[in-house]
Amino acid sequence: MNRNLRLSLIGQLVEQGAEHLPPRLRDLETRGDAAYSEALGIDAEAPGFGNVVVEEVVEDLLGIELDGALRDELTRCVLSRDNAGFHLAMPGWDGETGDFDVDSLAGIEAAPALRELIIVHAEELSLTPLASLPALERLDAAVPCSDVRALTACRALRACSLASPSAWEPADLSALGALLDAGVAVRVDGAPVDRAWLTERGAAEPVA
């Protein structure tokens, strides 16, 4: 799993106050909490602290095992620049740059209890890894994503909102049709998708 995705998942648990986080990560103020810094032996008063990535924090957060009861608490994740993991790793970060943008969903299978995934800020992503999320019920992606066909493996999916890519792949249009047939509410660029929408973009008609 890439660094930024893992920081996002751990940060989500910090934000929701997950019961099974290590004690040092509970009830934190997410922008450089003094008690957390002290627990790691970090001098938060040092000149320039918070203006660069604090590697001790990154190492600590990435070292948290997503397993057992903690893994089961991770049912919702928002991939955005406003994430507790990022603000802990770089307390002075203003969220205006892409330093922490997620560029791959590879490894997200480490969070099999995820029911809701919201993607606000990220590089263009392949959705292929989402096929390994058996509990996923809702996907809301505000950035273009490829490999939409992977969503047909998400049997629990009930709602899917996507941003248009530069060009639709025929296989992905067919996948949107399969999602509609399975009763999934599909939206693209905020508008509901139906068979007429798919036909206009060159999707093959379903076999009678």
DSSP codes, 14-82? HHTT-TTS-GGGSS--TTT-HHHHHHTT--TTSTTTTSS--HHHHHHHHTS---HHHHHH--EEEESS-
| Predicted local distance difference test score (pLDDT) of residue 205 | 64
**Of residues 95 and 205, which shows the higher confidence score?**
95
Rounded to two decimals, what is the model's pTM?
A: 0.90
In this structure, of 83-87, 161-165, 188-192, the range with the lowest mean pLDDT score is 83-87
**CB contact at 8 A, 124 and 144:** yes
Mean pLDDT of the chain: 89
Q: Are strands 185-188 and 191-192 parallel, antiparallel or unpaired?
A: antiparallel
Rounded to an integer, the average pLDDT of 162-185 is: 92
- The yes-or-no verdict on residue 207 having pLDDT over 60 is no
What length does the chain have? 208
Least confident of 97-101, 129-133, 144-148, 190-194: 97-101
pLDDT tens readout for residues 104-121: 999 999 999 999 999 998
35-49, 131-145, 192-206, range with greatest mean pLDDT = 131-145
Whether 208 shows a pLDDT value over 70: the answer reads no
Nearest Cα to 147, choosing from 190, 189, 117, 104? Answer: 104
Work out the average pLDDT over 28-52.
77
Residue whose entry in the numeric block shows the structure tokens 């893992």: 6
Q: Which amino acid, one-letter code, is at 35?
A: A
Write down the pLDDT at residue 49. 80
73-82, 126-135, 167-176, 199-208: least confident range: 199-208
Q: What's the pLDDT tens digit per position in 42-82? A: 888 888 787 888 899 999 999 999 999 999 999 999 998 88
